[in-house]
Amino acid sequence: MVRIALLWLLSSAALAADPALYEREADLIDETVVQAIYEQSVAELDSAIAEQPGDILLHLQRCKIAQRFSYVDETYMAKIEAAAEACFEALEAQFAGHPELHLALLDAYRVGNRMAYAKDLHDNLRGWNSAQHARLHVILADLHRYENEQLYNFHCARALELDEATPCRLAASAYYRGRGEIDQAVSALVSPLAEDPSFHASSERIIALTEMGEYDLAASLWEAIRGEPLEPYVLVRLAPSLQEAGLVEDARQALADVPDDYWDGGSVLGARYRMAVNAGDYGDALTIYEQLRDNGLSTDPVLRIRAELALHDWTLPWQWRDILGLLVIGGVLLIILIFAMATTGVVHYRGLVRRLQGKAPGWPAPPWRLGHLIYALSVLAIAAVSALYIAGYEYLFETVDTNLITPSLGMSQILVVQIWLEAFLTLPLLVSRHARRMLFSPGFRYLRWFGLALLTAFGLRVLFGLPVIFFPDAFASAQIGTTSEAIAAAYRSYGFWPILLLVAFVVPVVEEVLFRGVMLTSIGGQISFAWANLVQSLLFSAMQDSLLLVPWYVAFGLIAGWLTRRSGSLLPAILTHMLFNGAAFAAIVLST
C-alpha cells in the first residue's frame, strides 16, 4: 500500500508542477510509465483485497482508481473505464445495499438520477452510521447548491450535526443564522475543524462573523491571512467587513491594493465611495461620486445615490447635470398620473353611456368617487416604483455600480418597503368618513358574515391547492413565486411577528380598502356591478407574481367583491384575506 501511495504521489506531483500536462499529454507524459503505474497500483490493491475480501473500502478504491489516470490515451482509457465498470458491477452484487457502495455510486455519477437516488436513500436509511449519513447530506447539499439555497444550507447543517468533519460550514452557519441560532452559527465558523487553507473561505468566514457582530473573531481571522496575496474580488468583498470590525486602515489598504479599473459587479471607486459614507466622510464621498458621474448618466440615472448622500449632508453642492435626474423622476410621476387618469376616464365614459341609456349603476350611492380611483391607482404604482427606487435600485438599472448602493436584503426588502409605502399612502383613505361607512355599516350582522368569511378563506385555500395536487409539475414552482420567496427571506431576516403583522394584517386591510373599497365602489358607481367586480379582480390579479395562478387570483377578487357587495361592509373581505394570507404565511414558515 505504501508503494501505491508513493506512485500516486509522484504522478500527482508531476501534474501539480505543470498543469499543462493535461493539454500536452502526448508530448510530455511517457504513457508506458503511466500504464505501468496503473497496473502496479491495481496489483497492489488486488493483493490487499485477497487478504481482506470483506473490506468494501479497498474494493471501492480498486474501482475508482481509473479516476487517477484520466489523462492517458483514449484506447488505454477505454480499457480502464471498462475495468472500472466491471468492478462496480461486481461490487453491486457482492455488497448490495451497503451504505459505502451507495455513496460511491453517487460520487462516481454511476446512477441515472442522482437527486432521486439520494432522496430515496435518505428516506430509507438502514444501518447507516452518522459519518455515512453526514456524507449523504453533503451530497444532497451539493445537488441543491444552485437550485435551492435553503435546502443547500439545511443539508449542510444536518451533516455538521452528524459529523464535525463536514466541509460546508459556511452554508451550515447561514442555516443557523436564518433560524436565529447565532451561537451555533458562530461555532460552525470558528471551530478548529472549520480551518480551511483557502483564503477565499477565510474571507467568507470573516464577512459572516462581521454580519453577526463577532468583530473580535473576525479580526483574529483577518490576522491569519493579512499580507497574503488575496484576489481583487476578495479584497473588495472584505473591505466593508473590515471597516465594520473597526479595522479601518486595513480596509482602506485592501481597496488601495486593487487596480482602479477592476470590476466585479461594482467598481473599486464605488467600494471606496461606500467606505467614505460609512465613515462619515461625506465630502470625500461626493468627490468620488462626481468622479463616477464623469463616466456618464448611467452611474446614477435618477439620483438615487445622490439623494441618499443629501440625506446624510444636505449642504453638499449639487451640479447642473443633476437636473436631468430630477426630470426623469418627474416624467415617471407624470406617466403614473396619466395612466391613472386615462383608466378613470374610460370608466367615466362608460358611466355616461349607461346614464344616457337610462341604466342604473351597480352601486347607486358609492362611498368613493372617481377622484379616489385616480388616487388608489396612483398609490399602487407609486409604491411599487418607489420601493424599487429605495431598496432595489440595482434591479431597476443594471448599469448602476452595485458598490454604490447600501447593502440590501434583496427582494424581501423591496417587498417590505412597498407594503409600508402602500399603507402610508392609503392612510388618508382609511381615516376618511368613506372608510367608516364601509367598515361600520349599520345593521351589519357580525357573526353571520365572519362565519362566512372563515368558510370562504378555507375554500379559497383549497381552491389554490387544487392545481398543485392535480398538476404538480406545472404548478409547484408557480406557487413559490417571487412574492413567496421574498416573504420567506423577510421572515428569516426580520423574524416571525413583524412579518406576520405585515402579511396577515397590514396587507389585507390596505388591499381590501384599495380594491374592494375604492375601486369596486367607484367603478360600480359608473357601470354594472358584474363588470366593476371583474375589473377590480383583474387589477388585483395583475399585482401578483405568478401568471399561471392569475385565474385563481381573479376568483379570489370576485369572491371578495361579492362579499363586500352582499354585506355592505369591507370587514368580511378583510377577514377572509387575513385568514387566507395567514395560512399562506404559516405554510411558508413551516417550509422554511
Q: Is the pLDDT of residue 8 over 60?
A: no
Give the model confidence (pLDDT) of 251-306 as tens digits: 988 888 888 777 766 678 888 888 888 888 999 999 988 888 877 667 788 888 88
Please say whether the beta carbons of 516 and 569 come within 8 A. Answer: no
Residue 21 — very low, low, confident or very high, per pLDDT cuts 50/70/90?
very low
List 263's β-bridge partners, or say none.
267
Q: For the segment 520-564, what is each residue's pLDDT rounded down to a tens digit?
A: 999 999 999 999 999 999 999 988 877 777 888 999 999 999 999
pLDDT value of residue 42: 78
Q: What pLDDT does residue 265 have?
A: 60
What is the per-residue pLDDT for 24? 41
Among 26-35, 73-82, 373-382, the minimum mean pLDDT is found in: 26-35
Reply yes or no on whether the pLDDT at 25 is more than 50.
no
The answer to whether 285 touches 309, Cβ cutoff 8 Å, is: yes
- pLDDT of residue 480 exceeding 80, the answer is no
CA distance 513 to 208: 42
Report residue 545 as a C-alpha cell: 407574481
Residue 504's nearest CA partner among 435, 409, 424, 576 is 576
- The whole-angstrom separation of Cα 573 and Cα 507 is 12
Q: Could you give the CA distance from residue 57 to residue 62 in angstroms, rounded to a whole number? A: 9
- Domains of the chain, residue spans: 1-110, 324-591
* Cell 368618513 -> residue: 433
Report how far residue 66's alpha carbon sits from residue 84's, in angstroms, rounded to the nearest whole number: 7
Mean pLDDT of 387-405: 75
pLDDT of residue 68: 64
Q: Are 422 and 379 in contact (CB under 8 A)?
A: yes
Closest to 171 measured CA to CA, from 185, 190, 187, 153:
153
Residues 517 and 498: their CA atoms lie apart, in Å, by 26
Rounded alpha-carbon distances, angstroms, from residue 255 to 141, 201, 231, 266, 313: 34, 19, 11, 13, 25
**Residue whose cell numbers read 480596509:** 251
Average pLDDT over residues 121-141: 85
Cα 46 to Cα 9: distance, rounded to the nearest angstrom: 19
Q: What pLDDT was estimated at residue 26?
A: 42
One-letter amino acid identity for 396?
L
Judged against a pLDDT cut of 50, whether residue 492 lies above it is answered with yes
Which pLDDT score is estimated for 70?
A: 53
What does the pLDDT read at residue 342? 93
Query: What local confidence, expressed as pLDDT, does residue 13 receive?
Result: 41
What pLDDT does 171 receive?
A: 87
The helix (run of H) or strand (run of E) holding residue 531 is helix 529-542
Q: Are 574 and 512 in contact (CB under 8 A)?
A: yes
Predicted pLDDT of residue 442: 66
Per-residue model confidence (pLDDT) at position 471: 62
What proportion of the chain, given as a percentage, has pLDDT over 90?
Answer: 20
Mean pLDDT of the chain: 81
Chain segment 425-479, per-residue pLDDT in tens: 999 998 888 888 887 776 677 778 788 888 888 888 777 776 666 665 555 544 4
Q: Which tens digit of pLDDT belongs to each residue from 63-105?
A: 777 666 655 556 667 777 777 778 778 877 888 878 888 888 8
In the three-class reduction of DSSP (H, G, I as helix; E, B as strand; rest coil), residue 54 is classed as coil
Q: Model confidence over 191-228: pLDDT tens digits?
A: 765 555 556 678 888 988 998 889 998 998 898 888 77
Phi/psi of residue 444, nearest 5 degrees: -70, 130
Residue 267: beta bridge partners?
263
Distance (Å, rounded) from C-alpha 582 to C-alpha 584? Answer: 5
Looking up cell 385563481 gives 552
Mean pLDDT of 33-56: 78
| Orientation of helix 199-211 relative to helix 232-244, angle to 10° | 30
| Distance between CA atoms of residues 125 and 355, nearest Å | 73
Q: What is the DSSP letter of 442?
A: T
Helices assigned H by DSSP within 127-280: 130-144, 149-162, 169-178, 182-190, 199-211, 215-225, 232-244, 248-256, 268-279
Question: What does the pLDDT read at residue 1?
Answer: 43
Question: CA Rg, the chain, in Å?
Answer: 32
pLDDT at 2: 41
Using CB atoms within 10 A of its CB, is residue 352 exposed (0-12), middle (13-18) or buried (19+)? exposed
Distance, CA of 10 to CA of 21 (rounded, Å): 14
- State the Cα–Cα distance between residues 110 and 106, nearest whole angstrom: 6
Task: Tell the residue number behind the cell numbers 397590514, with chain if given.
Answer: 506
Rounded Cα distance between 544 and 483, Å, is 8
Query: By the 8 A CB rule, do 579 and 451 touch?
Result: no
How distant, in Å, are the alpha carbons of 340, 359, 460, 471, 478 from that of 464? 31, 37, 6, 12, 11
Question: How much is the pTM?
Answer: 0.69
Q: Which residues are CB-contacts of 496 (< 8 A; sequence separation ≥ 6)?
A: 589
- Highest averaged pLDDT of the listed ranges 45-54, 124-133, 271-280: 271-280
Per-residue pLDDT band at 517 (split at 50, 70, 90): very high
